[in-house]
């Protein structure tokens, strides 16, 4: 989602997209959670956990539908949908981890999640920007003998970005998404092959998720 997000297309919808990717995801999780509690007889936190899990849209599927079909979407609706679908995973990830934490720690308070949210998002944003710069610099400077090794190199750096950010208390999904935006909007060696490689990985993981 990040590598195919064009900054010039999301700039006019940045405010609305961020609202949908955060407050929209939260509202979806709350509505599904309350429904599950009232109708399916889950406990409140179990229902909210289910809501958090299903609250985000799938970026690869949304991108594919919007780009493979000539949908007559007016105004900025198309870039808004693409931006929201690519950027809502950090919020869904935070909510899922938070409700798992509340379920496994009965003495925990919902209020403790507020500072954790802002801390995770701030660290994730800073780490994403820093590692995005690092990935672009590394790919452009290093000289590998085989072109097929560049996607492997970027994949290793992406995994490191997520792991390091998560270790220091940041939101790893946000860091990876922002780093990918920087890579996708910068002149990088083998950029087309990188985008094709990760597009294939996105479809592969969609299939795995569906079968699971």
Give the pLDDT confidence score for residue 32 in this predicted structure.
93
Dump pLDDT digits (tens) for 126-162.
Answer: 999 999 999 999 999 999 888 889 999 999 999 999 9
The better pLDDT of the pair 49, 69 is held by: 49
pLDDT value for 167: 95
Residue 71, pLDDT > 70, answer no
The pLDDT of 48-52, averaged and rounded, is 92
pLDDT digits (tens, 9 = 90+) for 163-211: 999 999 999 999 999 999 999 888 888 888 888 898 888 888 888 887 8
**For residue 166, what pLDDT is reported?**
94
Q: Which residue has the higher pLDDT, 149 or 87?
A: 149
Residue 9's Cβ-count burial label (10 Å; 0-12, 13-18, 19+) is middle
Percentage of residues in the chain having pLDDT higher than 70:
93
In angstroms, rounded to a whole number, what is the distance separating the alpha carbons of residues 15 and 12?
A: 8
In the predicted structure, residue 61 carries a pLDDT above the cut 80: no
Contact 162, 173 (CB under 8 A): yes
Please check the confidence at residue 34 and state whether its pLDDT lies above 70: yes
Residue 182: other Cβ atoms inside 10 A: 21
Q: Three-class SS string for the chain?
A: CCCCCCHHHHHHHHHHHHHHHHHHHHHHHHHHHHHHHHCCCCCHHHHHHHHHHCCCCCHHHHHHHHHHCCCCCCCCHHHHHHHHHHHCHHHHHHHHHHHHHHHHCCCCCHHHHHHHHHHHHHHHHHHHHHHHHHHHHHHHHCCCCCCCHHHHHHHHHHHHHHHHHHHCCCCHHHHHHHHHHHHHCCCCCCHHHHHHHHHHHHHHHHHHHHHC
Q: Are 171 and 165 in contact (CB under 8 A)?
A: yes
């Amino acid at each position: 989602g990040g590598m195919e997000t064009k900054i010039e297309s999301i700039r006019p919808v940045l405010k609305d997209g961020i609202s949908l990717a955060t407050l929209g995801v939260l509202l979806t999780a709350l509505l599904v959670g309350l429904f599950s509690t009232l109708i399916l007889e889950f406990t409140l936190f179990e229902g909210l956990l289910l809501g958090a899990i299903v609250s985000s849209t799938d970026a690869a599927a949304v991108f594919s539908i919007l780009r493979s079909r000539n949908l007559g979407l007016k105004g900025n609706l198309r870039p808004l949908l693409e931006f929201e679908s690519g950027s809502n995973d950090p919020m869904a990830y935070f909510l899922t981890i938070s409700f798992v934490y509340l379920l496994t720690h009965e003495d925990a308070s919902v209020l403790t999640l507020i500072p954790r949210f802002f801390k995770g998002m701030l660290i994730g944003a800073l780490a994403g920007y820093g590692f995005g710069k690092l990935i672009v610099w590394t790919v452009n400077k290093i000289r590998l003998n085989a072109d097929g090794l560049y996607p492997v190199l970027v994949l290793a750096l992406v995994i490191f970005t997520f792991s390091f950010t998560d270790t220091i208390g940041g939101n790893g999904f946000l860091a990876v998404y922002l780093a990918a935006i920087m890579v996708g909007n910068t002149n990088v060696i083998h950029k087309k092959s990188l985008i094709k490689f990760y597009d294939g990985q996105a479809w592969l993981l969609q299939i795995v998720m569906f079968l699971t």
